[in-house]
Amino acid sequence: MARLYFDHNATSPLRPAARAALVAALDAGNASSIHAEGRAARGKIETARTLLARAFGVKPELVVFTSGATEAANMVLSALAGMTCDRLLIGAGEHPCVVAGHNFPETAVARVALDGDGRLDLADLREKLQAPGTPMLALQAVNNETGVIQPVAEAAALVHEAGGVVVCDAVQALGRIACDFAATGADVLFVSSHKIGGPKGVGAAMFSRRAVMPARALVRGGGQERGFRGGTENVAAIAGFAAAFEEVLAQREQEMERLGALREKIEADIKALAPEAIVFGAGAPRLQNTLAFALPGLSAETLVAALDVEGVAISSGSACSSGKVSASAVLAAMGVAPEIARCALRISLGWPNKEQEGIAFPDILSRVRQRMRRRS
């Protein structure tokens, strides 16, 4: 059997439709040029922009393409510091691009706690909103490590009541659950292409209204993206992103139902194999494609490497720390003991995964587990 790739929350393989669109646009002209080739390139970008705008319920001019979600987060959080808001509240399980990507002074930043299942603690949010100043809340729609779905709409209502702004990381939610402006209540959303089977190196920031757009560009240059993000647009990647997103939108409900059934089977098989297994976020709504669990006593780092040798790609959490395996801040915020957190693994499923892969995985895991237990 071919390798089992169970790490779609890190990156999802390029969809054939996205590959075709990407290749077709590789020779596109410069979208800032006014000749026919430039206009054709511009047309591909604006078609993609309109697709995102319609899906998220905003005008196309409120969509800004970036090199990915990290740049989008940096652009929004840095530019809005002191412009719209003077305090930043960060969910305790946020991605490093949010935690390290803002420009607020440290004294103006506070973490909002998670409960034991990994959901934002709304009582703690209410308490932190009592402090003086105009707040900004940065909150994921879905946690990338646990798959736990966050109460963004409820949090947004509280923040708006306090006169604040909500920036939502919708990277893992894109194409999997409803994460538009109406569903989240957010003021700003950002997304990434490669999580849904589009090309790497492209994402977007989207704004509910002109008033929450940055006053200046983070990347300054030739005034592209209506002056919000300088630099020649990556036409091919944007075209591939649009193709992947269009396919995801058409298949979302049935695809997530399919992956949910596959996730449930894998989870049940792991519990049957290892009754001591701990599933993180089990008491909260979770994304159907994600399973975060621990086999106590077995190091995640060693287990990931052993499974890789057996032809299985899973992760020990987020893949966004330069390949380093380190303690999970998300699990720590959930109150997970360090000795359990060191055993944490993540399976995240995507469009190519089939039922037979879910059937094959428990046997592979059983072999690896037995081998590791004999050596310990």
Mean pLDDT of 302-318: 91
| Catalytic site includes residue 168 | no
Q: Is the pLDDT of residue 223 over 90?
A: no
Amino acid symbol at 260: G
Mean pLDDT of 32-44: 90
From residue 356, alpha-carbon distances to 1, 2, 261, 265, 283 in Å are 10, 11, 12, 11, 28
What's the pLDDT at 279?
98
CA pair distance 49, 238, nearest whole angstrom: 9
The CB density around residue 276, as the number of other CB atoms within 10 Å, is 10
Q: What pLDDT band is residue 294 in, cutting at 50, 70 and 90?
A: very high
CA dihedral 255, 256, 262, 265 (to 10 degrees): -150
What's the pLDDT at 322?
41
CA pair distance 19, 25, nearest whole angstrom: 10
Q: Is the pLDDT of residue 214 over 90?
A: no
Q: 261 or 318, which is more confident?
A: 261
Q: What is the pLDDT of residues 136-165, one digit of tens each?
A: 999 999 999 999 999 999 999 999 999 999
What's 116's DSSP letter? T
Q: Is the pLDDT of residue 374 over 80?
A: no
Q: Is the pLDDT of residue 231 over 80?
A: yes
Q: Is the pLDDT of residue 49 over 50?
A: yes
CA dihedral 35, 38, 42, 44 (to 10 degrees): 120
**Interior/surface letters 321-345, b for 16+ CB within 10 angstroms, e for the rest:** eeeebeebbbbebbebeeeebbbbb
Name the residue with tokens 């719209």.
84
Q: Is the pLDDT of residue 229 over 90?
A: no
Q: Is the pLDDT of residue 259 over 90?
A: yes
Structure tokens at 350: 């995507």
Q: 173 or 37, which is more confident?
A: 173
Domains present along the chain, CATH in parentheses = 4-12+252-375 (3.90.1150.10), 16-245 (3.40.640.10)
Structure tokens at 136: 């900004």
Percent over 70 (pLDDT), the chain: 97
Report which of 81, 73, 31 is spatially closest to residue 234, judged by C-alpha positions: 31
Q: What is the pLDDT of residues 11-24, one digit of tens each?
A: 999 999 999 999 99
Q: Is the pLDDT of residue 357 over 80?
A: yes
What's the pLDDT at 178?
96
Q: Is the pLDDT of residue 70 over 90?
A: yes
Q: Is the pLDDT of residue 319 over 80?
A: no
Q: Is the pLDDT of residue 82 over 80?
A: no
H helices of the chain, in order, are 16-24, 36-56, 69-80, 96-99, 122-128, 152-161, 181-184, 235-273, 300-309, 329-333, 338-341, 355-375
Average pLDDT of the chain is 93
What's the pLDDT at 326?
63
- Of the residues 97, 168, 179, 320, only one is catalytic, namely 320
**Interior/surface letters 264-274, b for 16+ CB within 10 angstroms, e for the rest:** eebbebbeeeb
Mean pLDDT of 281-292: 98
* Side-chain half-sphere exposure of 227, counting CA atoms within 13 A: 4
Amino acid symbol at 247: E
β-pairing, 312-313 with 4-5? parallel
Mean pLDDT of 72-95: 90
